[in-house]
Structure 1
Amino acid sequence: MSAADTVAAGIATPAPTTRDVCVEPPALAMVWTGAGRPHETVAVPGVVLGPGEALVAIELATICGSDVHTVEGGLPASSPLVLGHECVGRVTAVADGVRAVDGAPVHVGDRVVWSATASCRDCDRCRRGLPQLCRSLRTYGRERIQPRWELTGGFATHAHLRAGTAIARVGETLRAEVLAPAACAGATAWAALARAEEVADVDGAILLVLGADLIGLTACAMAADRGATVVVADPDPARRALAARFGAVQAIDSRSGRALTAALAATGRAECDIVLETSGSPRAVRGALDVVGVGGVVLLVGSAVAREPLPLDPERLVRGLITVRGVQGYAPRDLDGAIGYLRERGADRPFDELVSARYPLAQLDRALAAAAAGTAVRVAIDPRDAARRR
């Protein structure tokens, strides 16, 4: 990949030297050591910034479902590690040559959101435009802490961004509650719709979203604002009420087949052009394949962990010209697109209300328990409280 390609991809560009950065007072990280154990606080007095790296003081982090699954033991992880990958913060130190997704240099003082992963930029997958599946991928919130890289996740006062991280400058206007989830759910929703548009037009489409989680609600708003007629299905009445505020023309109980039939009839159609499945439920995946129409596309976003295998009718796919696409993570352009959408249209939808609980960093275990309860779409961690107490 050439230097011009690197800038266009919005990936941090290597600088020739390293920098020793003293953090005063020391950064604090909440370290997870295994399922059933409380987090431990670790102080990090300094970092060494290698080529293409930056240090960011975290303004706000939000808890993703994968963080909950990890602490509950449902998602394998190598401890000790610092969980969290949905963050917004301010650059406090930066190596030379680091550029944002818009190609502009990243400076100290910039308010930024960064990708959940860092890629090598040079393997065959990165060269194909699939950096989220880089052969040397590093994932924030999933990497075991190590010497010279202790600040590996978002549940800390600072994050150490490695080379190959997509960085988006976000300005001062949008609230942190709107921006932090864009690093995961927002960019993934944008990526899913971008993959759909490679097959079918979103504008004018009948689009069914199965699952009113943060990805589903965000995709609902994005698709509705592109001209789609969006139907959302979810078993939770509170989530269905939210879906209506995010642009859904119908929000139905996903457990009722009749409700879906009636919702489609109300649109004047008997089938969907695009189906976005976010829950990973085998029943929902089967439903997505059943309801998509001729020439349509099914986007599987929620099936990122092992579930029971599903029977597949290849004749239906062939005769229906149906496309099934897996959406795993996102590329730098998707993060850029999600931030641009929030900047232009974020105020039109109640994105800030999706983060309905906030805890100080020291109460991370309580926050994770609240997130596991499922009453809030997102629970936030405010690490600035820890910084103020020192």
Structure 2
Amino acid sequence: MDTQTLPLTASAQVWTGGSDFRNLSVDLPELAHGEAMATIDLATICGSDIHTISGRRSGPHPGILGHEAVGRITSIGPGGIQDFKGRQLQPGDRVIWSVTVACGQCARCRAGVTAKCVELLKTGHEPLDGVWGLSGGYSSHIHLRRGITMVSVPETVSDAAAAPVACATATVMAVVEAAGMLAGKRVLVSGAGMLGIVACAVAQHRGASAVHVRDINPERLALAQEFGATDAAAPNADRTRLAVDIAIDVSGAAQAVESALGALDISGRLVLAGSVSPGPAVSFDPERMVRSLLTITGVHNYEPRHLQEAMDFVNETRDTYQWDALVEEPRALAELPFVMQPPTGRSLRKSVTPNVGTIRRTS
């Protein structure tokens, strides 16, 4: 166990319901076998947290939100800890961590579906008085429980590029795995938020013959073209029927889902990842599904391998795509209540940091 001196408490912005937050001191827990403590260098604000405080999705409170973050290990419990590649981690090592914490023993975990573990805990989704109170990124420290996946962050990757990997980029890796081989395929991406922009970049990088993106925001459509889209337009911009092999919906909009399904060519596959809050039902024609050999599948969260794949992808493409440009300049953690708003323009993520002077800006 590391014996360096640690503070006794973390400083956290605790969500208390609605749009209300309180700046509280939270006791640091004693570390058990296979656990660690880390400081938060930067946390980005995922749209799902904005949905939570606006009431579009439920969440326990009081609690510490935030599941896209990057930080450094400060203390390690008995037995040590390893990153996904099996490297023994040490205090000072820079890491990101998974959205999910799985038991590793239940039938779902044994079947490789750890994202749906029967005892699942989720980063930034746990009550403050529960078994994992210090679970969110909107805090000076986070308790990394046994069962969480940790991935080392190369020094060539900036904080702004690394933090969204923990949710958006890793989720896209799960999505494209579900989509199958992309090389030579015509791909449609519905929604040009963070997930959609990443999906465009991955599709282009993996050799898609065309990457169509649909969104109602002109600035995000322009951004998509900088990240691999070959065709970016508003929905129903023309009456020409689009035909694609793979459609990916990350918008969650029922009309977009129906349009994506309608665009599938023979043997086409639709992957749904944006429908994570209640919405209207979507109809489909079973005969067309059968005769056209179509497939619809859903993706929610991701597996440990996807987190590593996402970090590798961002590092590999750091000179191709301006990942830093997608994240606004960070604000102090105390300002979190004022920045929990959807980003505007070309920005896809707002961000906060407990210690502004520690941000790594590798380009």
| Number of equivalences | 357
Name which of structure 1's ranges 242-251 and 89-98 shifts more when overlaid on structure 2.
89-98
Do 1:22 and 1:47's aligned partners in 2 also have CA atoms closer than 8 Å? Answer: no
Please report how far the alpha carbon of residue 257 of structure 1 lies from its aligned counterpart in structure 2 after TM superposition: 4.6
Which of 288, 292, 297 matches 1:320? 292
In structure 2, C-alpha distance between the alignment counterparts of 1:298 and 1:189, rounded to whole Å: 14
In structure 1, C-alpha distance between the alignment counterparts of 2:23 and 2:236, rounded to whole Å: 43
> In the alignment, which residue of structure 2 is the partner of 1:4?
none
Please report how far the alpha carbon of residue 359 of structure 1 lies from its aligned counterpart in structure 2 after TM superposition: 1.1
> In the alignment, which residue of structure 2 is the partner of 1:68?
50
Please report how far the alpha carbon of residue 312 of structure 1 lies from its aligned counterpart in structure 2 after TM superposition: 2.0
> In the alignment, which residue of structure 2 is the partner of 1:285?
257
Do 2:154 and 2:315's aligned partners in 1 also have CA atoms closer than 8 Å? Answer: no
Please report how far the alpha carbon of residue 165 of structure 1 lies from its aligned counterpart in structure 2 after TM superposition: 0.6
Do 1:21 and 1:47's aligned partners in 2 also have CA atoms closer than 8 Å? Answer: no
TM-score (norm 1): 0.87
| Equivalences for residues 152-191 of structure 1 within 5 A | 152-191=135-174
In structure 1, C-alpha distance between the alignment counterparts of 2:358 and 2:313, rounded to whole Å: 31
Which of 215, 219, 223 matches 2:199? 219
Change (3 A) 1:241 1:375: closer
Which of 216, 223, 229 matches 1:235? 216
Please report how far the alpha carbon of residue 308 of structure 1 lies from its aligned counterpart in structure 2 after TM superposition: 1.2
| Equivalences for residues 41-80 of structure 1 within 5 A | 41-80=23-62
Which of 74, 78, 85 matches 1:102? 85
Please report how far the alpha carbon of residue 154 of structure 1 lies from its aligned counterpart in structure 2 after TM superposition: 0.4
Do 2:220 and 2:346's aligned partners in 1 also have CA atoms closer than 8 Å? Answer: no
In structure 2, C-alpha distance between the alignment counterparts of 1:357 and 1:73, rounded to whole Å: 27
Change (3 A) 1:303 1:218: same
In structure 1, C-alpha distance between the alignment counterparts of 2:288 and 2:260, rounded to whole Å: 13
Describe the SS at the equivalent of 2:11.
strand
> In structure 1, what residue type is equivalent to 2:198?
T
> In the alignment, which residue of structure 2 is the partner of 1:244?
225
In structure 2, C-alpha distance between the alignment counterparts of 1:48 and 1:29, rounded to whole Å: 18
Do 1:357 and 1:376's aligned partners in 2 also have CA atoms closer than 8 Å? Answer: no
Change (3 A) 1:20 1:257: farther
Which of 352, 355, 363 matches 1:384? 355
Describe the SS at the equivalent of 2:125.
coil
> In structure 2, what residue type is equivalent to 1:233?
R
Change (3 A) 1:128 1:257: farther
Describe the SS at the equivalent of 1:356.
coil
Residues 1:203 and 2:183 aligned together: yes
Do 1:235 and 1:254's aligned partners in 2 also have CA atoms closer than 8 Å? Answer: yes
Name which of structure 1's ranges 238-247 and 23-32 shifts more when overlaid on structure 2.
23-32
Name which of structure 1's ranges 27-36 and 274-283 shifts more when overlaid on structure 2.
27-36
In structure 2, C-alpha distance between the alignment counterparts of 1:307 and 1:147, rounded to whole Å: 30
Q: Considering only aligned residues, what root-mean-square deviation do their CA atoms show, in Å?
A: 2.1
> Percent identity, aligned pairs only?
38
TM-score (norm 2): 0.93
In structure 2, C-alpha distance between the alignment counterparts of 1:159 and 1:239, rounded to whole Å: 33
> Larger % of helix: which?
1
Please report how far the alpha carbon of residue 256 of structure 1 lies from its aligned counterpart in structure 2 after TM superposition: 2.4
Unaligned runs of 5+ in 1: 1-17, 265-270
> In the alignment, which residue of structure 2 is the partner of 1:300?
272
**What does the per-residue CA deviation read over 1:96-155, in whole Å, with 9 as the maximum and x for residues that have no partner?**
242211122222111001101101111111111111111111011110012774311000
